[in-house]
Amino acid sequence: MKKLSIIVIAFLAVIATGFTASMLWNISNEGVTINFELPDEGTKGTLSGLKAVIDFDKNDLSKAKISASIDVSTLNTGNAQKDNHLKSADFFDAEKHPVISFESTSIKQTETGFVTVGNLTMKDSVKSVEIPFTFTEENGAGVFKGTMEIHPGDFGVTKKSKSGKDKVVVTIAVPVKK
């Protein structure tokens, strides 16, 4: 009886000290959209094949984590010649650096949603970025939506533009289920 009491007390102590199940979300690649636009150039395109682990509970952001990657070879502007050039050593160098990845270091709530801060790895550079996003949830399903601006020159993909003309706007929508 004493052993059973100790086990029950230990179990309750673990629960009381904050043991919580993670809130893992499964993505469905069919509904994922990753669009990019270079406003100063007029180029638009997409990336596909997102792989991600999303552990997100809006009620406990201290444990939230997002890690994601995308294969550079999926880059599509609708112009095969341009796509091949962008994947070449002149730009992304997809042969040596086939993946763009993101690993969050923190997630915080904002007035309009959330912001994740983390490390974006592109080509041979790693830079800290902020990605503002929203999350809507209903009946065990949800959608993460975010928009961010990056400058490929910061990552050695293009020449850095002092005027900011190398700006790329990336919009992401990721439907998820529990």
Q: Tens digit of pLDDT for each residue in 42-81?
A: 899 999 999 999 999 999 999 999 999 999 999 999 999 9
Residue 88: helix, strand or coil by DSSP? coil
CA neighbours closer than 13 Å in the CB half-sphere of residue 55:
13
Q: List, for residues 160-170, the tens digit of each pLDDT value.
A: 888 888 899 99
Q: Yes or no: say if 150 and 170 are a contact pair by the CB < 8 Å rule.
A: yes
Q: What pLDDT is recorded for position 4?
A: 39
Instruction: Please list, in sequence order, all residues whose beta carbon lies within 8 angstroms of the beta carbon of residue 175, skipping any fewer than 6 positions away.
Output: 27, 28, 31, 32, 141, 142, 143
- Distance (Å, whole) CA 104 – CA 128: 9
pLDDT at position 25 is 96
- 125-162: per-residue pLDDT in tens? 999 999 999 999 999 899 999 999 999 999 999 988 88
22-177 folds as Lipocalin (2.40.128)
